[in-house]
Amino acid sequence: MNTQPTQRVDALQSCQQEIVAETAVHPEDAGMGTTLTMGYLIWPKMYVMHVGDSRCYLHRDAQLTQLTRDHTVKQRLIDAGINEEEEDSFAEMWANTLWNSLGADSDTTPDVFRVDLQLGDSLLFCTDGLTRHVSDEMLLERLAGSDAAEAVCRSLIREANEKGGSDNITLVVARFLDSDELHLART
């Protein structure tokens, strides 16, 4: 399937319209919204579409890189250059306030970009329920280990819940192994 990026953006816009239509039928749900961070893989290319504050991380060569940028008011303030003292005072108030999401009566403007993957890479897609409680250092440690993807997910969920688990925690780990690594992972 060779879907063009604009068709994927159209699909996201269709989701946006469905949520808005649902709130028209059920006004008590007005203001509801959600985030979306997804990858569309055509090896070795992956296209990422992102709205909100869920995240996509790439683990490569012992480094963890956050590929997405949070669509929160807090992140906008940081990008605008607020100082650390100001950041502390705004952190709690604006940390989860989204300026870009699906639904919530907002105009949705997704980030869409391409990532070239390599054998040995790992990806982590996750909600802020994980990243609110688990540090990037812990994410790196778990992704750098040799555990299977499912074991990494279970471990990270347990870690987030032990540190407060104040929101839903959804995550997916994908490892791109060569045939030797795949054989070792199975044994």
pLDDT tens figures, 151-179: 999 999 999 999 998 889 999 999 999 86
pLDDT tens digits, one per residue of 114-152: 999 999 999 999 999 999 999 999 999 999 999 999 999
Q: Rounded CA gap, 84 and 78, in Å?
A: 9
How far, in Å, CA of 155 to CA of 165, rounded? 13
pTM for the full model? 0.84
Rg (CA), the chain: 18
